[in-house]
Amino acid sequence: MKKPQLKTALLSLSALLFAGSALAADPAFPKAPAGKVTLEVWSWVPGLDKTVAAFEKAYPNIDVKVTNLGGGPQTYTKLLTTLKAGTGAPDVAQVEYGFVPSFVDTGGLADLSTLGANNYKKYFVPWTWGQVSPDGKAVFAIPQDTGPFAMVYRDDVLKKYGIAAPKTWAEYEKAAATMYTKSGGKVKMGNFYATFAPWFMALAWADGGQFFKRDGDSWVQTLNNPSAKKVLNYWYGMIKKGHVGTIQAFTADYWNAAGAGQVASNFEAAWGPGGYAGSMKDKGAGLWRAANIPQWTASNTVKSGNWGGSSSVVTAQSKNKQAALLFSLWLNLSETAISQNWTNGGLFPASDAGLDFAILKDKTKNPSKFFGGQDISSVYATASRGVNVNFQWAPWFPFANDNFNKQMDLMLKGKLTPNQALDAWQRETLAEAKKQGYTAR
């Protein structure tokens, strides 16, 4: 157990040194192939077609063709079809972390460790590498963007009720009760997203919760792990008292309530604030702030979880894997690409040095502008560096994702206790995993 710790320490030290040197140059990328090469890239990163122009300028003999399929299930269906068919796949494709294992299982992804990808591990925030290289040897993707968790809150509302931004969950619970009493139940301190499993999982992730683990050829699934139970019971207690709401995320109802100051705080991934600014526009503009998520025990080190984010995979079919790896590394480590991806699409980088780029902290632009000019990217950078490294997904996660909504619905209707809901989630999802042919327990 000593060794990995030392490694991590060295890693973060090198990351620190790297970040410290002013105007750090991009890492040395692998050599470009000699001949003329065309790379096909499937990605929904906004403005990527313009970003690749800079790449093509730096590597004139590599021609990159970008296809934007918008992401989501349809993109995966298409990618899966080509991987199963053994032909027609792009060289590089964008895949969200949670879906990487199911593509690994098709055997259609290249193991990038054979091409020297592990040499670049040190440039990424540690937990992101855990997402693309679960066993620490084979590397199935290059981390791209991330969604570490922070707390967002309405500064004006908290001040109105005389509440300081809570630093622990105990303080948060107390704040929720105070706000409920003082506002006559009109203003809720928080909101539980009952239809987004990854939101809930991120909160448990911050507590060290583990949901899936590959064990040789089989899997261990623990959806009802102690952290999950602790987190869900905590929230259910506040929900039952009416201290927090259960408005669905990304709905007009939610934006209206949040815009009107009826939801005083929430827990959002690094890409969330951009959505707040875009969806609420002038309502509540400048009144929001971001802070570290509350901790279970008061501490100076911040532990957080993650919701969302994606990676660049190289397919086994690619005829130019070396160039594809080069492009994936450049796309996610070069200052040019990270800056453009942030400006065009609000992609919060997986690159450790990228977290400190000045462009992320521009106070005159959203999301920081919507957050009263606060440098919220620094809050999210702290969060990202505090995300637990060991966290795995399973190929059948899409089923778990849907089944979660069913169990939460039953729980909110009072038909299941939080523990029963999580046990049912575990049981039904495990049965499905076995039905899909996985050896899981």
Partner 1 sequence: MVRKEKFTPLQILALTLFAIYALLPLWWVIVTIFKDNGQLFSTFGLWFGNKSYLSENLNTLFTRQDGIFTRWAVNSIVYAGTTALGSVVVSAMAGYAFSAYEFKGKDALFGLILATIMVPSTALVLPLFLMMQKMGLLNTYWAVILPGLVNPFGLYLMRLFWDAGFPKDLMEAARIDGAGEWTIFQRLGLPLVRGGLVTVGLFAFVAAWNNFFLPLVAVSREDLFPLTLGLSVWNQTSSSSGQEPIYTVIVLGSLISILPLVLAFLTLGRYWQGGLANGAVKG
**Which residues make up the interface to partner 1 (CB under 8 A)?**
40, 42, 44, 46, 67-72, 74-75, 77-78, 81-82, 84-85, 87-88, 90, 145, 147, 250, 252, 255-256, 259, 269, 271-272, 274-275, 278-279, 281-283, 308, 345-347
Q: Residue 210: what residue type?
A: Q
Give the pairing type, strands 218-221 and 212-215: antiparallel
Shortest Å, Cβ 196 to partner 1: 13
CA distances from 365 to 136, 338, 360, 369, 380 (A): 38, 16, 9, 5, 16
Of the two residues 169 and 271, which places its CB atom closer to partner 1 in the complex?
271
Decide the pairing of beta strands 92-96 and 306-314: antiparallel
- Distance of closest approach, residue 55 Cβ to partner 1, in angstroms: 19
| 438 vs 433: CA distance, rounded Å | 6
Tokens of 133: 């290289």
State in angstroms the smallest separation of the CB of 147 from partner 1: 8
- Beta carbon nearer to partner 1, 225 or 304: 304
Residues 6+ positions from 378 with CB-CB distance below 8 Å: 361
Q: Residue 191 CB, nearest distance to partner 1 (Å)? A: 16
Tell the smallest beta-carbon distance from residue 255 to partner 1 (Å): 5
Please, what sign has the CA dihedral across residues 260, 265, 267, 270? positive
Tell me the sheet residues that pair with 153: 265, 289
Query: In terms of C-beta density within 10 A (0-12 exposed, 13-18 middle, 19 or more buried), how is residue 178 classed?
Result: middle
Write down the least CB distance from residue 412 to partner 1, Å. Answer: 24
CB nearer to partner 1: give 113 or 256.
256
For residue 313, list its beta bridge partners: 93
Question: Which H or E element spans position 130?
Answer: helix 126-132
Q: Which of 52, 179 has the CB closer to partner 1? A: 52
Reported as half-sphere exposure (CB side, CA atoms, 13 A), residue 289 has a value of: 12
Listed in sequence order, the DSSP H helices in 59-96 are: 73-85
Choice between 86 and 116, CB closer to partner 1:
86
Specify the residue for token string 């470009």: 32
Using DSSP's 3-state secondary structure scheme, residue 295 falls into strand
Is the peptide bond between 90 and the residue preceding it cis, with omega within 30 degrees of 0?
no
Q: Is the dihedral of CA 254, 255, 261, 266 positive or negative?
A: positive
In the complex, minimum distance from the CB of residue 305 to partner 1, in angstroms, rounded to a whole number? 16
Residue 258 tokens, joined: 């949040």
- Least Cβ distance, residue 251 to partner 1 (angstroms): 9
Smallest distance, partner 1 to C-beta of residue 216, A: 30
- 90 versus 126: smaller Cβ distance to partner 1: 90
Q: Is the dihedral of CA 344, 95, 99, 388 positive or negative?
A: negative
CB 324 → partner 1: shortest distance, Å? Answer: 16
Count, in order, helices (H) and strands (E) of the chain: 16, 11
Nearer to partner 1, 347 or 430 (CB): 347
| CB of 190 or CB of 309, closer to partner 1 | 309
Q: Which is nearer to partner 1, 195 or 227 (CB)?
A: 195
Contact in structure between 96 and 3 (CB atoms under 8 Å): no
Whole-number Å distance between alpha carbons of 223 and 156: 37
